[in-house]
Structures are given as structure tokens and as C-alpha cells.
């Protein structure tokens, strides 16, 4: 995993496991923080993903070729040349970028090694007659870091561009970059006039401080012009993207810290429940069914103390909001109820092992087992191990399994948070390279 988007997904999974374990306030704040990161405009990864959008003949494909330093896409001025979106991607491609392209259905991909953290998407021409082109463009815009709108001196006021795209998408204007291409076809005076008029048209839509570059990506004479300034600007955007990525990862670690503090996971989660529960249930079984025939079984209060102390200790060790959950699920009334439930075993024993006895409680049954108050020849044969196993099964079903399920939820939360933090730090190291 090397993509911020997947790190966010890892934290979303941890957040899901924290529901019902973290306090409502902490869970709500964590959910809001992760949701805010998820809803941020642009690509979450450390790669700058830009879409080139423009009308037929604007020189959009020529601009991409100028970036690449070679022809990677056809150019044309009559009908839509870019009938399918094309991605110019670093080699090797980032996993998150690849997933984004897969989701958007962009299959045409050209590898490049000039700019390791830059992805350019050559979109279908916005004045295409093909309806599918509009779907591709409209679905793509919310998921990229920026849209480079390429216009030419002849059609920079194209109503379709302004009314169907720029005006409805004004909320994304902080992601827009405008390029007036083919400036080699204008005199300096004409260029000043066109530039001023274009800025006025943008201002009418509420785009009052646009970033505008003047280029000649494929001049009739000489080398491309204005490309270096655009590249320098994108380098600055890449630096800003790195800062933003570090901020995103820091925010996610803050979510992890808050959840761990609230659920006391930072105190350590190795409470060895299976081992300790096994020891406790065996001890309770022995207390109820002693080895010595003349030994009296433990009383209800002694059993209550053992089980209640165990639950209390576990809740203290887990601590935080989780301690409250344990005590709410296994309060003193619940423990008394479960101990009283052992009388169900008494019914089974009365029906099978001691048919002539009429004990009023499980303790009486055990005394009957050991012949208390009876003649020696009336003492039944007793399988102590079987009786203890019955007690253990009852305790497992009524106390051990439900308590283990609660602790398993806590363990799942701990595991997902650890996984998310590991991936966040891995991405952070990659970003620092």
C-alpha cells in the first residue's frame, strides 16, 4: 500500500470498529475528521493529478505533447480528436492513481519518467458532440487536483465552455488553471486585448483571480513558448501537495491517538483473557465440586466474589470507555443472575444422577452427590470430572463467551488501528523521498 486514499480507507475501517467502543463524543469527532479528509477536493495521494480540458482545436493535445517532449497524442482541429481520455502517468504508476483511473474507466495510459509525481489526463474535447464525453469530464473533475482549461484566441468565449462547464463548476475554481494557447498567432497588442477580454469573461462567472498562462505549445516557427513557466508553477503545486499530504497523515494519526486514548488501547491490549478465564472457570468448578468427599462446596457469596473480582480486574485493565462497556454488560446483577443459572444444572443432575433426592438448590445437589445427610450405601457414584465440565460449559456459555466477544471487538479495533498507523507511516516515508 503506498497511497493516501488507501490509508484513509484503513482509518475508516478502524473507525467502524470503534463504534460502540469509543465514547460518543470521541467517536463523533473522529468520524467528522476522517469524513472531512475523505471529502477534500482532489486526489488524496502525493501525486499531482491534473486534467487537460479544452475545445476542439484549442491545442490541448499539443500542450500535452510539449510537456512530454514528444508526440504522445494526436492533434487536430476539425472533429474531436480525444475521443477517449488518455492518462500520461509516471512509471511505475502509483497504486492510488491506478485505482483512480480504473474507477474512471480510463484505459489509455502512456508511461513517462520526466515527472515522477505528475499525472496528466487528456480529456475528451468539451465541445464534442458525443454525450459520453460530457459524462467523463463531469465525473472526473471532482477527483483531480486541478483542471487546466486550454483555450485558444478564436474560441476562448465559447458559450459551451462558459455556460456548461465554468459557470456550474465555479465551486472548483481554486483548482482551475487557465492556459491561453496559440499565442504565436497574435501580435502583442492583440494578445493584450484577448487576455483582458478573457479575464473579464471569467470574472462574470465569479472567477475573479484566475491563474492564467500564455503558451504556444506548437508554434509554426521556433520552440514552444510559455511551457517552462507552467512547469515551474506545477512544481510549486507539487510542493504544496506534499505539505498537504503530510497534514492529512498527521490528521489521521490524531484520530488514531484520540481513539486509543479513549479506549485505553495505548495502555496495551495483552490481557491474556483466554488463559486467565480458563484458570478462573476451573477454580470455580473446583470450589463447587471439591476433590475431598467431605469438603463442602463454596457458598454463593464466595463464587460471586471470585467472578465479580475477575470482571472488575478485566475492566480496570482495559480501562477507558471500554471499562464502562464491560461493567454495563456484566454488572453485579448480571453476575448474580448467571451464578443463579447454575441451578439449571441441578435440574439435570436431579433427573439423572440423584433421582431420589429433592434438593432445593445446586448446592444441595452437590451435597447430595457427596452423601451429606445420607447413609454411605446411599451415596451415588459421582463423575467429578463430568460435573465440573458441566459447570465449565455453563460458565463459558453465559459469561466467558460474551465477555470474550467484547474483548475481541477491542482486539479488532487495536489491530485495525495498528495497521492504519503502519500504512500511514509507510506513505509518509515515501512522501519524504
Q: Would you place residue 368 in the very low, low, confident or very high pLDDT band (cuts 50, 70, 90)?
A: low
For 107-136, what is the HEC assignment?
CEEEEECCCCCEEEEECCCCCCCCHHHHHH
Return the pLDDT at 270. Answer: 66
CA–CA separation, 389 vs 412, rounded Å? 30
Q: Which range, of 275-289, 294-308, 329-343, 366-380, averages the lowest pLDDT?
A: 366-380
Q: Does the pLDDT value for residue 370 go beyond 50?
A: no
- How far, CA to CA in Å, does 79 sit from each of 74, 153, 431? 12, 18, 41
CA–CA separation, 415 vs 418, rounded Å? 5
Q: Would you kindly state where each structural domain of the chain is located, as residue ranges?
A: 48-225, 271-432
Distant-in-sequence contacts of 34-40, Cβ < 8 A, 24+ apart: 34/8, 34/252, 34/255, 37/8, 37/248, 37/251, 37/252, 38/8, 38/12, 40/248
Q: Would you place residue 340 in the very low, low, confident or very high pLDDT band (cuts 50, 70, 90)?
A: confident
Q: Which range, of 169-173, 210-214, 345-349, averages the lowest pLDDT?
A: 345-349
Q: Does the pLDDT value for residue 84 go beyond 50?
A: yes
Q: Which range, of 151-155, 202-206, 295-299, 408-412, averages the lowest pLDDT?
A: 295-299
CA–CA separation, 174 vs 141, rounded Å? 12
Q: Does the pLDDT value for residue 369 go beyond 80?
A: no
Return the pLDDT at 274. Answer: 92
Nearest to 363 by CA among 349, 378, 376, 377: 349
Separation of first and last alpha carbons in the chain? 16
Q: Is 75:49 a contact under the CB 8 Å cutoff?
A: no
| CATH top-level class of 48-225 | alpha beta
Q: Mean pLDDT over all residues of the chain?
A: 83
Q: Which range, of 12-26, 76-90, 184-198, averages the lowest pLDDT?
A: 76-90
Instruction: Name which residue leads in pLDDT, 192 or 268.
Output: 192
Amino acid at each position: 500500500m503506498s497511497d493516501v486514499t488507501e490509508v484513509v480507507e484503513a482509518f475508516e475501517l478502524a473507525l467502524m470498529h470503534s463504534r460502540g467502543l469509543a465514547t460518543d463524543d470521541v467517536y463523533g469527532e473522529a468520524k467528522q475528521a476522517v469524513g472531512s479528509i475523505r471529502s477534500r477536493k482532489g486526489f488524496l495521494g502525493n501525486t499531482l493529478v491534473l486534467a487537460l480540458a479544452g475545445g476542439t482545436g484549442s491545442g490541448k493535445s499539443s500542450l500535452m505533447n510539449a510537456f512530454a517532449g514528444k508526440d504522445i497524442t494526436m492533434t487536430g482541429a476539425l472533429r474531436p480528436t480525444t475521443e477517449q481520455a488518455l492518462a500520461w502517468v509516471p512509471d511505475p504508476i502509483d497504486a492510488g492513481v491506478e485505482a483512480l483511473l480504473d474507477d474512471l474507466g480510463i484505459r489509455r495510459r502512456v508511461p513517462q519518467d520526466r515527472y515522477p509525481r505528475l499525472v496528466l489526463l487528456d480529456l475528451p474535447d468539451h465541445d464534442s458532440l458525443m454525450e459520453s464525453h460530457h459524462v467523463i469530464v463531469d465525473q472526473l473533475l471532482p477527483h483531480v487536483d486541478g483542471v487546466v482549461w486550454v483555450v485558444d484566441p478564436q474560441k476562448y468565449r465559447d458559450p459551451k465552455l462558459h455556460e456548461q462547464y465554468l459557470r456550474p463548476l465555479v465551486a472548483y475554481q481554486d483548482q482551475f488553471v487557465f492556459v491561453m494557447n496559440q499565442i504565436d498567432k497574435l501580435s502583442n497588442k492583440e494578445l493584450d486585448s484577448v487576455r483582458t477580454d478573457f479575464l473579464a469573461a471569467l470574472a462574470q462567472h465569479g472567477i475573479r483571480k484566475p491563474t492564467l498562462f500564455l503558451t504556444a505549445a506548437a508554434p509554426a516557427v521556433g520552440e514552444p513558448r510559455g511551457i517552462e513557466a507552467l512547469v515551474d508553477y506545477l512544481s510549486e503545486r507539487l510542493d504544496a501537495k506534499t505539505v498537504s499530504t503530510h497534514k492529512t497523515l498527521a490528521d489521521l494519526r490524531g484520530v488514531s491517538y484520540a481513539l486509543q486514548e479513549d479506549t485505553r488501547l495505548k495502555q496495551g491490549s495483552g490481557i491474556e483473557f483466554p488463559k486467565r478465564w480458563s484458570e478462573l472457570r476451573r477454580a470455580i468448578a473446583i470450589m463447587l465440586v471439591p476433590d475431598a468427599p467431605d469438603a463442602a462446596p463454596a457458598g454463593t457469596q464466595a463464587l460471586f466474589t471470585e467472578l465479580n473480582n475477575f470482571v472488575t480486574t478485566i475492566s480496570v485493565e482495559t480501562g477507558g470507555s471500554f471499562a464502562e462497556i464491560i461493567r454495563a454488560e456484566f454488572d453485579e446483577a448480571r453476575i448474580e443472575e448467571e451464578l443463579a443459572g447454575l441451578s439449571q444444572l441441578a435440574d439435570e443432575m436431579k433427573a439423572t444422577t440423584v433421582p431420589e433426592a429433592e434438593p432445593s438448590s445446586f448446592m444441595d445437589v452437590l451435597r447430595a452427590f457427596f452423601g451429606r445427610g445420607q447413609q454411605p450405601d446411599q451415596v451415588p457414584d459421582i463423575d467429578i470430572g463430568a460435573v465440573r465440565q458441566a459447570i465449565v460449559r455453563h460458565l463459558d456459555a453465559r459469561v466467558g463467551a460474551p465477555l470474550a466477544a467484547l474483548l475481541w471487538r477491542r482486539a479488532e479495533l487495536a489491530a485495525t488501528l495498528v495497521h492504519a498507523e503502519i500504512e500511514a507511516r509507510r506513505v509518509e516515508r515515501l512522501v519524504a523521498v
